[in-house]
Amino acid sequence: MGSDRAADLESFLAERGELLLRTAVLLAGSREAGEDLLQAALERLLRRWRTIEGDPEGYLRRTLYHLAADNWRQQRAWRTRLRLLQPGAGTAVADGTAEVDLRDSLVRLLRQLPPRQRAAIVARYWEQLSEAESAQALGCSVGTVKSATSRGLARLRELSESSGSSEPAIQGSTRGRS
């Protein structure tokens, strides 16, 4: 199978990859991390390639959510950086670069939510899945999706109001949707 499998995957990604990657970026919090997350999900897909029945996209999507909700990055052991050429390693000091990349303030705040809340919000408000579909994607109950979404939104509102950014304050008013 070998390279054929890689080629199959490549053509699948050419067709469906963009949407999956956008979801992965939101789940993981950055473009780079999103690519890593999608790659990790693809590796799992490859491991299960022979046993997956039906739609590989469905499996991939569920895997993205599972990995994100399980906080896949934190489960890996932490190691300090490699010194490739220059000597010296220690503690970093703030240098004012915290002002970099302040676009997309709510998405930035989304990164501060616990993984499961973030995943629930992405499922509900980015993919616009129903609560039942979200529960299936996250591998949890509908009740868990409801509470994670509700808590996540409340936390986002709180963070947004206290962030002091130039964004307008968030109102809690309810509006209809066409």
Partner 1 sequence: MNTELEQRLRADMEHATSGVRVPPGLALKAYRHYRKRTITTRAVAAAGTAAVLTAGALGVAEVTGAFGQPAGGAQARTTAYVISRVEHALSAPDMANMVAYTRTVYPAGFTLHPVPGGVNGSGGPAASSPRAGGYEVLWAYHRSTNLSFFTASGQRVFGERITVGEKSLATSVVTYASHTWWKAQSARPAGTRSGSAGCLPGGEIRLNGSPSAWPDFIHSQLACGAYSVAGRQLIDGVDALKITGGSGQITLWVNPVTYLPMELEQGGITQVDFQWLAPTRANLAMLNMPVPASFHQVVPPA
Q: Interaction with partner 1 in 11-50: which residues (CB under 8 A)?
A: 12-14, 17-18, 20-22, 25-26, 28-36, 38-39, 42-43, 46-47
CB 120 within 8 A of CB 148: yes
Integer Cα distance of 123 and 9 in angstroms: 24
Q: Residue 163: helix, strand or coil by DSSP? A: coil
Shortest reach from residue 58's CB to partner 1, in Å: 18
Which two tokens mark 162? 């206290």
CB 27 within 8 A of CB 118: yes
Shortest reach from residue 44's CB to partner 1, in Å: 9
Which two tokens mark 42? 């693809």
Shortest reach from residue 32's CB to partner 1, in Å: 4
Type of residue numbered 52: I
Within 62-91, the residues that bind partner 1 by CB under 8 A are 73-74, 76-91
Within 117-136, the residues that bind partner 1 by CB under 8 A are 121-122, 125-126, 128
The 142-161 contact track toward partner 1, x by CB under 8 A, reads -----------x--xx--x-
